[in-house]
Amino acid sequence: MEKRTAAFWWNRLPGPVLAAALSCFFAGFFAHVFAFTNIIPNADGISRVFDQQQMTVSGRWFLHYASVWHGYIQSPAVIGFFALLFLAVAAGLTVSVLRVRSPVVACLCGALMSVFPSVAYTFLYMFTASAYCFGILLAVLSVWLVSRYKYGFLFAAPVLACAVGTYQAYLAVAAALSLICVFLYALEGGRSAGEIFRCGLKYLAFLLLGLGLYALILWAFLQVKDLTLLDYKGISSVGGQDLGGLLYAIGSAYWNFLRYFFVPRSFANYTTPAAAAANGVLALTALWAFIRLIRRRGCLRRAGVFLLTLGICFLLPLALNLTVLMGEAMPIMRYALVLTYVLALTLVDRAREPLEAPNPEPAPVPPEESEGDAGMLLDGEEEAEPVPEEEQPKPEPKRPVLTRWMLGVACCAAGLLLIHSFQIDNLAYTVSAQAHRSTESFATRLVERVESTPGYRNGMEVVIIGGFPTGTYYNDIEVFSLVDDYSDHSSSVIPMNKHVYYYLNDWMNVPWRDPGEKVLKAVSDSAFFQAMPLYPDDGSVVIVDGKVIVKLSEKYKPKQAYEIAYENRR
């Protein structure tokens, strides 16, 4: 009896898909292992040792549910595993959607999707990193469903709504990947302008349906919880810009796209001259591939197809940098830009596909094999049966040398960008770890100073005005400026007054509670406080009316309305 071999599901995956997923996971592990083995409080993470991610007030109604994979506690190893798992699946789906054929190109695409600097910034918000990576997966999955099934948009729209409900920036991932699909569809041979137009409408309808469903569910959550959106970075007014503001935002999207890739230290501090040069080389190879494809596929001979292709190409930078239309595009919001690299590599991969070789002429019959001898067989020989024409081996199509060279150049440029991103990721973690160490040192000295103040008793109310005094304590390490936008201050993780109490309570177990806005304002406005010197001078820590007063800055900066609403979120 013939023994059957087990056919595992991964054996049925196309090679490029599996290559992209594995390279994404392992490249991401080595790039971010420091973040997975350390807890680095940074920015919002200072107050997020444990948090249930109830972020409906920020429009992220699905974030609470997307965080269940690791619970609601900062556990870097668990969060890192799930985050990379989600990114790996997203990379595999992306390669599948774009039909990448080269395993080498697929590996580079997958690795870039997990090592891209925006991912490092996401892991600096470790408390929510796996949920955000799950949001990326949902955005890619929604496009995959539309591209694979005739009525896939019916399932894709709810998936996209959940992706945007996790983090609004991932609408850009779905929009950019959708437009890339239409762009590659237009570059296929034999497509008419009508077919390309209908394909674009299909993806546009899916995006609008998903976005509408997101807004409807958000409205329902706000009504049930009796909440209003925070007035923070334009969240409550997205889509409400006037025509002038919208045109300015669109212009900024294009300009910032060019600055990000080609202008060193402009839109992104980590865009070095070397990175800009590698971006330029990859862009030139992609341009060569684009020109080669439109010539070989006959796009130049059909005006409608050619104009549609150019129109889609023109819209790509806007889709890739769509977050600019949503307000300030922080580094964590720029993840969709990694698809620029994926598109460039995919174009070069498509351009290397050889044309079908012409049918060869029948070989002439050698003189010694004349027709008269054709039927004669030697002793013991049997007459061979004629091989059907369709089963005869066909000659291998020839690939021009230039295409192989251009693919090699593109892969080398992508490899250099991969190394650059790896360095930037770990520099970001170094800067954040250094800021944490300096903050811990400062906070330790501050606690000792307060507890050694004459007359201090355990349980006294401690009123601290101001954040980390960067004018006194700071570092001047020049290379840290490459990733200075990864943190409010590279010298501290407590830049604001509220961060001081978050850090003392949650990270150092010092039970000094925030005295509240009224007390902080009253102390800050008092004549006695105004006459005090700044910390660490003598007299900057005193006891007045049973309260310990610590002056870190000249005046208290009141919390804004969105901060108070955020603390009371549910």
CA distance 304 to 96: 28
Tokens 């490459």 belong to which residue?
482
Break the chain into its structural domains and give their ranges: 15-229+241-354+399-419, 440-567
Which candidate, 67, 333, 61, places its Cα nearest to that of 215? Answer: 61
**Residues 332-365: pLDDT tens digits?**
999 999 999 999 999 999 988 765 444 444 445 4
- Per the prediction, the chain carries an average pLDDT of 86
Helical H runs in 44-152? Answer: 63-66, 76-98, 103-115, 117-123, 129-148
Cα 490 to Cα 480: distance, rounded to the nearest angstrom:
7
Residue 223 reports pLDDT greater than 80: yes
**Does residue 5 register a pLDDT over 50?**
no
Lowest mean pLDDT among 3-17, 39-53, 273-287, 501-515: 3-17
Q: What is the pLDDT of residue 361?
A: 46
Pick the closest to residue 459 from 510, 517, 505 (CA basis). Answer: 510
Give per-residue pLDDT as tens, 258-303: 999 999 988 889 999 999 999 999 999 999 999 999 888 777 778 8
98, pLDDT greater than 70:
yes
Give mean pLDDT, residues 467-472.
85
Q: CA–CA separation, 341 vs 320, rounded Å?
A: 11
Of 330, 121, 327, 147, the C-alpha closest to 238 is 327
Please provide the DSSP assignment of 208-261 as one string.
HHHHHHHHHHHHHHHHHHT-----STTGGGTT---HHHHHHHHHHHHHHHHHHH
So what's the pLDDT on residue 248?
86
pLDDT of residue 400: 64
Q: Is the pLDDT of residue 84 over 70?
A: yes
Higher pLDDT, 203 or 386: 203
Alpha-carbon distance of 520 to 418, in angstroms, equals 48
Q: What is the distance of C-alpha 48 from the center of its chain?
A: 21
Least confident window among 46-55, 119-128, 181-190, 335-344:
46-55
